[in-house]
Amino acid sequence: MQGVGPISAAQILISWSHTGRFRSEAAFAGVAPIPASGLTNRHRINRGGDRQLNRALHTITLIRIRLDPTTRAYVARRISEGKTARDAQRCLKRAICRQLFKLLERGDQPAQRITAEDLPQAA
């Protein structure tokens, strides 16, 4: 996956540990938004969950925003919808968390063979 380096991948695998440990992708890293208090109609970051995993997801998010044109388009679309840059990044982090959760939950299927062409994509 774009943006997932060896340290981030190690943290993801350590936090995930086995299939069925988490009930949903929202519980995976604590990236589910919770309503902000007060009279505003906003959401804030959930301070619960695995903080090291959340940091790894943050790093993956920053790398993908910088390098991946599809991710840049996603963030630009979210900002044009009226979200702030932080809200757009939070939405992106949640989308990446969903992708990783689905990838890890498919662990019972045979692994794909990694070729030399796949290695530059992982960095």
pLDDT digits (tens, 9 = 90+) for 43-66: 666 666 678 888 899 999 999 999
Q: Are 94 and 75 spatial neighbours (Cβ–Cβ below 8 Å)? A: no
Residues, the chain, total? 123
Q: Is 65 helix (H, G, I), strand (E, B) or coil?
A: helix
Ramachandran category for residue 17: left, alpha or beta (phi over 0 → left; psi -120 to 50 → alpha): left
Pick the closest to residue 53 from 1, 20, 16, 90 (CA basis). Answer: 16
pTM score of the predicted model: 0.74
Residues of the chain with pLDDT under 70: 26, 30-33, 38-40, 43-49, 107-123
Predicted local distance difference test score (pLDDT) of residue 123: 44
